[in-house]
Structure formats: structure tokens, C-alpha cells
Amino acid sequence: MSSEQSHHQAYFRLKNEVAIVTGAASGIGRGIALRFAKEGASVALVDTNEEGAKHVADEIRKQGGEALALQTDIRNPEEVAKTIEAVIAAWKRVTILVNNAGIERATPLLTPDISQAWKEVAETNFHGTFHMTEGVVKTMVQYGWKGTIITMTSVQSEIPVSKGACYPATKAALKAATKSWALELAPYGIRVNAIAPGAIRNTGLNHDVNTENDVQKAKEWNIPLERCGTPEDIADAAVFLATNSYMTGQEIVVDGGLSLTH
């Protein structure tokens, strides 16, 4: 095989796939959407930030890919249903769902009105992911489409935090759901896996970590590989899970070794 042939195959591993990526307007979601499109997938960018999603869609189209920007609140089942319908209307199927959308509220237990923060985080991270997964999976089963579900969990589900237990709690719940969904959906040819990112720079959850202070932050957090991750690092793992036909019910930790030192 020539190097040219190898290069061509490496960048079209998702040809003919149709992917929905939530939280795709920025950060990890944007990184995964761009990478999936580069690998040949048609990508629906789902986000409450319509302008941000449109901007990423334009990036994909300029590179010759197919993209659709859809403003959606994943906490709303009706909006989720309309989004799935729009994707099917555009490309006739859905084969990949990436549950990336999530929020964090660093709210200690003794904070006044903490129940509101817990409700917001749980509704987005857990219930929103449930609504997207339910809608996509039922559609896939209805039409006999095989595919894969990829959900973002977090190393924080295993590493305790001193402020704001709700975020890691929702991510731990998603890890458990991933395993159960994988078992339930295996007979239908639907694989379900998760990615647990560590400290990823230039994202909404780590907005204070950037290229300039990357190495410094990595030292502060005792990351063995001496750098924070990038959305592209997570996109690599997402492509692997989307293309590995014999892997299900697993969580891949992508954290530069952070979890080894905490």
C-alpha cells in the first residue's frame, strides 16, 4: 500500500456515517465535529449557541464537508425530537451520537439555594443526555440502523472535588448508564462507550487554561505528561470508539495520567 493510499484511508474512516454532536459550538464538541467531518462523516452540530454552531458548520463546509447547525436545548424532549427529525430529513439516517453537552456549577453543599444549581447541572448533564440517547436509539432500532453512542464522562467522577459535587455525580451516573445501555443495546448492533477527559484547555469547563499557561497548569495539577489536553486529543479517542466494531460498555480515560497522581 502506498503512503498516499494509507493517508486517504486514515482520513475517511467515517465515510457515509451521520453523526450528531451535542455541545458542538465550542471546545471538545467543536473539536470532535471538525475531526468527524475530516474523517468523512456528515455532522449535525447541536447547541443552544446557534451562532457558534453555525460558525463551526461553516468551517466544515469550507473544508468540503457536510454540516448542519441545529439550535437545541437537550433538556427539552420536544426540541430533541425535532432535531433528530431534521437530521434524518437531511441525510436519511443517524449512525453516531456524541453526548458532549454539559455544564458545571462549582457550588459547595452549604451554599444557599444550592438546589437550583444541582437541578441545572442534573437536567443538562444527565437528563439532557438521556433525552438525546433515548431519541436517537429508538429511531435507530425502529429503522434497523446500527451505530454507536459516545458519551463524555469525566475523571472527576473518580477524583473527589472540594466544591460542587453535582458535576462529578452526574458524570458518574453517565458512566453507569453507559454500561447498562451497552448491555441492553448490543443485540441491536448499537455500541455504547464513554470518554473521560482530564484537564482540557480552551473549553468552557477549563476556560482559564490556554496555550500560554498550559505547562504551568499541568505542573500545578501534577499531570505526568506535563501538559493539559486539547479537544483534538479527545477527538482522537472519539474516532477510535466510532470505528472500533468490537468495543462496547467501556470508558476511555484521556487525561495525560492525571488520574494516576490523584
Q: Residue 190 has what pLDDT?
A: 98
**CA angle 211-36-186, nearest 5°?**
120
Catalytic residue among 11, 167, 188, 246: 167
Residue 1 has pLDDT above 70, yes or no: no
257: left (phi over 0), alpha (psi -120 to 50) or beta: left
Q: Residue 161 has what pLDDT?
A: 85
Q: Residue 4 has what pLDDT?
A: 38
| Amino acid in the structure at residue 248 | T
Average pLDDT over residues 215-220: 93
Q: Tell me: the pLDDT tens digits for 2-22?
A: 333 434 445 799 999 999 999
Q: Residue 202 has what pLDDT?
A: 82
Average pLDDT over residues 160-183: 94
Burial 118-147 (b: 16+ CB within 10 A, else e): bebbbbbbbebbbbbbebbbebbeeeebeb
> What domain range includes position 61?
3-260
| Residue 180: C-alpha distances to residues 6, 58, 135, 192, 249 (Å) | 37, 37, 17, 9, 8
Average pLDDT over residues 26-34: 97
Q: pTM, whole model, 2 decimals?
A: 0.94
Average pLDDT over residues 30-57: 98
CATH code of 225's domain: 3.40.50.720
Query: What is the rounded average pLDDT for all residues in the chain?
Result: 93
246 catalytic residue (yes or no): no
Average pLDDT over residues 246-255: 98
Q: Residue 11 has what pLDDT?
A: 76
Confidence of residue 83 (pLDDT cuts 50, 70, 90): very high
> Picking from 41-55, 74-88, 113-127, 196-210, which range would have the lowest pLDDT averaged per residue?
196-210
- 42-47 sheet: strands from edge to edge: 67-71, 42-47, 18-22, 96-99, 147-152, 190-197, 251-254
How many C-beta atoms lie closer than 10 Å to residue 26's C-beta? 19
Q: Residue 168 has what pLDDT?
A: 94
Average pLDDT over residues 96-120: 91
Q: Residue 164 has what pLDDT?
A: 84
Average pLDDT over residues 207-223: 88
Q: Residue 110 has what pLDDT?
A: 87
Q: Residue 10 has what pLDDT?
A: 53
| d(C-alpha 139, C-alpha 156), whole Å | 32
If one counts the domains in the chain, the total is: 1
